[in-house]
Amino acid sequence: MTDSALTRRTLLLGGLGVASVATLAACSGASGTTGGRMPSRTFGAPVPVSPSPGQKTVTATLTAKPATLDLGGRTVSTWAYGDTAPGPVVRATAGDFLRLTLDNQLPADTTVHWHGIRLRNAADGVPGMTQDPVKPGTRFVYEFTAPDPGTYFFHPHVGVQLDRGLYAPLVIQDPDEPGGYDAEWIVVLDDWVDGTGTTPDDVLKKLIADGGPASSGGMGGMGGMGGMDHGSMGGMGGMSMGSPPWGDAGDVTYPFFLINGKPPTDPDVLTAKPGQKVRLRVINAASDTIFTLALGGHRMTITHTDGHAVQPTEVDAFYIGMGERYDAVVTLADGVFPLVARPFGKTSGGQAMALIRTGPGAAPTAGVNPAELSGQVLIGSQLQPAASARLPDRKPDATARLDLQGSMKPYQWGINGAPFGSNEPLTVKAGQRLRITATNMTMMTHPLHLHGHTFALPSGLRKDTVLMAPMESLSIDLDADNAGDWMIHCHNIYHAEAGMMIALNYVA
C-alpha cells in the first residue's frame, strides 16, 4: 500500500510470534502456490467502460481537499469531499451506471471505496489491489453499475484517511420501493479527532509507539489468545443489556462525536409533522466507535441492514458498528426529540445528538439520556432476513478460516497469523459457495467487512459488515459471483491499517 504501511510492517516484524515469523518467511519466498497474489501491483490508467443501452448514467465529481469545519464553535482543519463532512450525498437507482470522478486536491495519495456495493473489481478503490493510488493533483474516474438498492457510503482506502472528514452517503434507491414513508433522513455517525491538535496519522503513530492506549492492558498475542484482563469497559452505551457483548470497544480517545457533521451543542435538525413516517438511513462512518442509537420518545422499526431487507423488527435502540448501516422507520410524535448515538465503552467526549422537531418546545441538552437507550437494545446480527433477501440454500463448495488476532500492547493486529501483506490470501473459484469460518481471537469487538459481495449469517441474514464480539465464531457464506481481488478487513480503521486485513482472490 503506502510508504507508511511499509514502515508499519517493519515496525511490527520485531514483535510477531514464532508462528508468524515462519509465515512471513514462507510468504516472502513465493506466494504463488495457492494462486494468492500479494498487494502492491501496478495498474496504469483504468480501462473506460460505458453504460449498456438504456442504462441511466449518474455522474458526480468528488473533490477531496483540505477544508475547515466549524464544530459548534470550534474550528478544525481537516480533509473532506468539498467543504463539508459528510460530503455531498450521491444518489442513484438500482441498476444505474455511475461515473464518479475523484479530483484529488489533497497533499497525499488517495482513492475512493464504495462501501458495500457489489461493483466491478476495477472500481473498488483499493490501492495496490484494484488500482494505483491517485496522486495529488490528478483525477480518477470510477465507473460501475450499482446493482442493489440500499444505504451505503464511500470513503478513501488509504491509511487512516477515513478518520478525517472524507466520507459521504451513497443511496441506491429501489425502483420497486413500496415507499410507505413521508420523509427520509440520512443520519451519518462519526467520531472526530482531526484538527483538534492531532491528526489520525499521529493517532496511529502514537498507538504503535505507545503499544496501545494508556488505559488498556495487554491482549492475546498474534498467534494465540492468552489471558486478559481488560479492566473497565467504561461508557454507558448498552448498559441495559446487563452484560453487553462488545467487551473493550475502542482504542482512540475522541473529543467529539458527530451526527451529520454536527456536535450535540449545535445539532442537525429534521423538521417534520406529527404523525409522519420517517425513514432513517443510519450510517456509522466512525473509525473506532460502536454506537448505541435511540430516538427519545419513540420506538423504531428496523427494515434493512447493509442494504438488505429484514423482517421488520421494533426496537428501543440498536448497536451500530463501524461500516454498518441500518434503515429504520418511525412514526413521529408531537414535540422535540433527541436522536442520540452513544459511543459504546468510551468515557470521554460525550455523545452524538441530532433533533427531530415536529412541534414547539425547548431542545434537549447535549447530555440528554433518553430512556430508550436503557431499553431493549438490538444486536443487529440477531435480525432475521426478509424472504426476498435470503441467500438460496446451498451446501458450501469450499471453506476457509479467518482468525482475527492481535493485541493493543504492543499495537499489532492481523488475520491468520500475520498482518496484511504478510498473510496468505484466501482464495475462491468463480461459481463456488464459500463458507468462511471467522473467529475473533481477541478480547475486543471487530466489525468484519467484505468488499464486492454480501455474505449470509447462519440465519440467512445478509450483511457486508458484521460486529464480532470477543471470542465469537461465525460462519459466513458467500457466492463467488464477482471475480477479482477483494479485501476482507476489520472496519476499525486503526486495526485495519495496523494489519487486520486479508485478501480474497479469485483463482482459476
Which residues of this chain interact with ligand C2O, rule CB under 6 A?
113, 115, 155, 157, 323, 449, 451, 487, 489, 491
Q: Which one of Cu ion, ligand C2O, none interacts with residue 304, CB within 5 to 8 A by kind?
A: none
CA end-to-end span of the chain: 25
Would you state the cell numbers that stand for residue 226, as one nine-digit string? Answer: 492468552
Q: Which one of ligand C2O, Cu ion, none interacts with residue 279, CB within 5 to 8 A by kind?
A: none
Spatial separation of the C-alpha atoms in residues 493 and 449, rounded to whole Å: 11
Q: E strands within 321-411?
A: 325-331, 336-343, 352-357, 377-378, 398-407
By beta-carbon proximity to ligand C2O, the closer residue of 332 and 503 is 503
- Least distance CB 227 / Cu ion (angstroms): 20
SS3 163: helix
In the chain, the largest separation of any two C-alpha atoms, in whole Å, equals 69
By beta-carbon proximity to ligand C2O, the closer residue of 181 and 486 is 486
- Least distance CB 450 / ligand C2O (angstroms): 9
Spatial separation of the C-alpha atoms in residues 491 and 238, rounded to whole Å: 20
489 lines the binding site for Cu ion (CB under 5 A): no
- Least distance CB 160 / ligand C2O (angstroms): 12
446 lines the binding site for Cu ion (CB under 5 A): yes
Sheet of 74-81: strand order equals 74-81, 57-71, 97-104, 139-145
Spatial separation of the C-alpha atoms in residues 420 and 416, rounded to whole Å: 9
- Least distance CB 466 / Cu ion (angstroms): 12
By beta-carbon proximity to ligand C2O, the closer residue of 304 and 449 is 449
By beta-carbon proximity to ligand C2O, the closer residue of 262 and 489 is 489
Instruction: Please identify, among the stretches 103-111, 287-295, 472-480, 483-491, the one whose residues bind Cu ion according to the rule CB under 5 A.
Output: 483-491
- Least distance CB 124 / ligand C2O (angstroms): 8
Q: Which one of Cu ion, ligand C2O, none interacts with residue 342, CB within 5 to 8 A by kind?
A: none
Spatial separation of the C-alpha atoms in residues 31 and 47, rounded to whole Å: 27
**What is the footprint of Cu ion within residues 60-99 (CB under 5 A)?**
none
Query: Is 145 in contact with 95 (CB distance < 8 Å)?
Result: yes
Instruction: Please identify, among the stretches 100-108, 182-190, 297-305, 485-493, the one whose residues bind Cu ion according to the rule CB under 5 A.
Output: 485-493
Would you state the cell numbers that stand for residue 471, as one nine-digit string? Answer: 471470542
Neighbours of 73 (CB within 10 A): 8
Q: Which residues pair with 149 in a beta bridge?
A: none
- Least distance CB 488 / Cu ion (angstroms): 12
Residue with the CB atom nearest ligand C2O in the bound state? 115
Q: Which one of ligand C2O, Cu ion, none interacts with residue 490, CB within 5 to 8 A by kind?
A: Cu ion
- Least distance CB 116 / ligand C2O (angstroms): 8
- C-alpha pair distances (Å), 435 with each of 111, 255, 398: 30, 40, 6
By beta-carbon proximity to ligand C2O, the closer residue of 187 and 487 is 487
- Least distance CB 395 / ligand C2O (angstroms): 29
The backbone region for 323, taken as left when phi is positive above 0, alpha when psi lies in -120 to 50, beta otherwise, is: left
Q: Do β-strands 139-145 and 97-104 pair in parallel, antiparallel, or remain unpaired?
A: antiparallel
Nearest to 134 by CA among 43, 37, 60, 39: 43
- Least distance CB 473 / Cu ion (angstroms): 16
Q: Which one of ligand C2O, Cu ion, none interacts with residue 435, CB within 5 to 8 A by kind?
A: none
Q: Which one of ligand C2O, Cu ion, none interacts with residue 451, CB within 5 to 8 A by kind?
A: ligand C2O
Spatial separation of the C-alpha atoms in residues 308 and 389, rounded to whole Å: 6
By beta-carbon proximity to Cu ion, the closer residue of 442 and 505 is 442
- Contacting residue, 100, 490, 493, 501, with Cu ion by CB under 5 A: 490
- Least distance CB 250 / ligand C2O (angstroms): 17
Q: Any idea how long the chain is? A: 508
SS3 29: helix
- C-alpha pair distances (Å), 156 with each of 20, 285, 350: 29, 12, 27
Q: Which one of Cu ion, ligand C2O, none interacts with residue 449, CB within 5 to 8 A by kind?
A: ligand C2O
- Contacting residue, 492, 497, 499, 505, with Cu ion by CB under 5 A: 492
Please tell me the count of residues contacting Cu ion according to CB under 5 A.
4
Its sign, for the CA torsion 338, 344, 348, 349, is negative
Query: Is 150 in contact with 325 (CB distance < 8 Å)?
Result: yes
Spatial separation of the C-alpha atoms in residues 100 and 123, rounded to whole Å: 10
Q: Which residues pair with 314 in a beta bridge?
A: 301
- Least distance CB 162 / ligand C2O (angstroms): 7
- Least distance CB 37 / ligand C2O (angstroms): 17
SS3 292: strand
Q: Which one of Cu ion, ligand C2O, none interacts with residue 323, CB within 5 to 8 A by kind?
A: ligand C2O
Instruction: Please identify, among the stretches 264-272, 275-283, 453-461, 488-496, the one whose residues bind Cu ion according to the rule CB under 5 A.
Output: 488-496
Residue 7 has phi, psi (to 5 degrees) of -60, -45
By beta-carbon proximity to ligand C2O, the closer residue of 310 and 487 is 487
By beta-carbon proximity to Cu ion, the closer residue of 123 and 490 is 490
By beta-carbon proximity to ligand C2O, the closer residue of 130 and 199 is 130
> Site residues (CB under 5 A) for Cu ion?
446, 490, 492, 495
